[in-house]
Structure 1
Amino acid sequence: MAALYRAAPRDGVAWITGASTGIGRSLALELVAEGYTVAATSRDEERLATLVQETAGMPGRVLSFPCDVTDDDAMVKTVAAIENEAGPIALSVFNAGTYFPTRGERLDVLNITKTFEINLYGVMYGLVPVVERMRERGRGHVVFVGSASCYFGWPSAGAYSASKAALNNLAEALKHDFDKMNIRVQVVNPGFVDTPLTERNNFAMPALMPVGDASRRLAKAIRFGGFETSFPLRFTLVLKLLKILPFSLRYWFVHWVTGWERRPLANGRRRRC
């Protein structure tokens, strides 16, 4: 049986969503250093322009394709524009995501729906058109950036954890058919990474990683990894063990490691996203 396709710089473009900050931006730098032409997508045109300037003279190059991932039609047009202007998309890294604290004492429907709109539907709006083109070419490589929070729920991360769990389940389900089409699908589940998103957390974050370390491990997973990659292992292996233990032990651990037991309830007033 032939080996499942894995993208390389010579094969075409690497498309990264959420490329203006955090892991996405850092990964763009990693892939450009490998020689990729990177199509960078974000709503922030100014930061994308800065990324283009910063990578000038490197082995690869960055091209800016601003887009809102929650706009279905715009994502279809972005895929077409990338392939028309830069060449076939060999690698798609769906990294765009957001985190809104979801507290039980002040639940807000918009908080939850907006999270899913970006973290899950924002993936689907790009995945559908790009996979259609990959299927026609007979090969492709797709990466979902999930989160270690997908294994079970964390305080104030109900919407975020649920959206990343859905993304993991989606990837696992799609793999059955993608393998037949010679399209590699991977899901990468980082732990806590020092990015603008985690700056919103007001609790202890065990094993917090610098963003450069996270993007290097993500780039390595693209080159060599299997279906799922999680890091840092000293943290994610504990989470995977806890996932199979009784809920009461898992609940105690999360309260202990985050200090949540000592946190008072908020005032109950809802804050709109």
Structure 2
Amino acid sequence: MSTHTRPLPKAAPQDKTPPSRTAVLFGPMNEPMADLRGRRIWLIGASSGIGAELARQALAAGARVALSARRAEVLEEVAGAHPEAFIAPLDVLCHDAWRDQHARIVEAFGGVDLLIFCAARYRPERSWEVQEDEAEHTIRTNLASVYSALGAALPDMLARGSGGIALVASVAGYVGLPGATVYGPGKAALINLAEILYSDLRPKGVNVYLVNPGFVKTDLTDKNDFTMPALQTPQQAASAIWRGIGEGRFEIHFPLRFTAWLKLLRILPFRLRFMLFQRFLLS
């Protein structure tokens, strides 16, 4: 586990020429990050699933990665004694812990170039199965704790005029899917928040990425008792996310053969949408 600080490779001079109208309309919405070598990444929710695989792939690509989740011993296993890994245990619901861990990471790395929020809770439940305390815990984990992340990391990024925030939401936030009674609204809020952050932060030099995965085989989706179309592995999901960040995309959604249908469903009139739910999801 590395805790030393060393200078990063010098960045190439930035072109200060204003982008053309064509670039604004059709070019990448964020600054592309194709090369992860030397990038300082703080990954929240790195102990399992997509987050763990994001960490492994970033370390393999030469990034310096701070791994955060509650269980330090599991983070150590994910890091695999990689010299550029920094273990930063964190309970996302502990507000003060965010600033403490951010300070540790800045001391070790010199700053954070990209924060990825990938922590989540989920249990499938219909409206009449919701438990109030569980619902509150899920919303605090999946949504409210993001504001703690922003409070810890954004001031430094804004002061530098660079950096990036990636929020891992879900296609469950596109439409009100039966069974996602608590999880879905929280993810819908993350989608809305990412849009606001992009409008606020991109003009100040901070990249914002919205990640909307389809079904990915993890401990969370193992709770589902239905067939999950276009199910992907965490390795496939992480590769798609890094590819989207490398291309400078704002929304990174995958797999397209599944997410395209949900995007279409999103724009249908409510009457038709609910008829399709009854026909294919609730029958």
**What TM-score, normalized by structure 2, do the two folds share?**
0.85
> Once the two structures are superposed, what CA deviation does each residue of 1:223-257 show, in whole Å capped at 9, x if it has no partner?
11421111111111111111111223322334444
> Are the equivalent residues in 2 in contact too, given 1:146–1:167 (CA < 8 A)?
yes
Unaligned runs of 5+ in 1: 262-273
Deviation at 1:44, TM superposition (A): 1.3
Determine the C-alpha separation between the residues in 2 that align with 1:106 and 1:251.
20
CA pair 12-215 structure 1, distance change in 2 beyond 3 A = closer
Q: Residue type matched to 2:62 in 1?
A: G
Determine the C-alpha separation between the residues in 1 that align with 2:233 and 2:37.
29
Deviation at 1:82, TM superposition (A): 0.5
Determine the C-alpha separation between the residues in 1 that align with 2:279 and 2:234.
25
Q: Equivalent residue of 2:113, what SS?
A: strand
2:71 is aligned with 1:44: yes
Provide the residue aligned with 1:9 in structure 2: 36
Q: Equivalent residue of 1:121, what SS?
A: helix
Provide the residue aligned with 1:207 in structure 2: 230
| Cα RMSD after superposing both structures | 1.8
Size of the aligned set, in residue pairs, is 256
2:190 is aligned with 1:154: no
1:143 to 146, 166, 172: 166
Determine the C-alpha separation between the residues in 1 that align with 2:172 and 2:248.
20
Percent sequence identity is 37
Provide the residue aligned with 1:69 in structure 2: 92
> Once the two structures are superposed, what CA deviation does each residue of 1:115-168 show, in whole Å capped at 9, x if it has no partner?
110011121111222011101111011111010111111122111110011001
1:106 to 129, 145, 151: 129
Alignment of 1:1-273 (within 5 A): 1=18, 5-7=31-33, 8-10=35-37, 12-53=39-80, 56=82, 61-258=84-281, 260-261=282-283
Deviation at 1:107, TM superposition (A): 2.5
Provide the residue aligned with 1:265 in structure 2: none
> Once the two structures are superposed, what CA deviation does each residue of 1:162-210 show, in whole Å capped at 9, x if it has no partner?
0011001011012112012100101010001000000111122111111
> Are the equivalent residues in 2 in contact too, given 1:6–1:141 (CA < 8 A)?
no
Deviation at 1:85, TM superposition (A): 1.7
Determine the C-alpha separation between the residues in 2 that align with 1:88 and 1:134.
8
Q: Residue type matched to 2:148 in 1?
A: Y
CA pair 220-174 structure 1, distance change in 2 beyond 3 A = same
Unaligned runs of 5+ in 2: 1-17, 20-27
> Are the equivalent residues in 1 in contact too, given 2:32–2:248 (CA < 8 A)?
no
**What TM-score, normalized by structure 1, do the two folds share?**
0.88
Determine the C-alpha separation between the residues in 2 that align with 1:128 and 1:181.
16
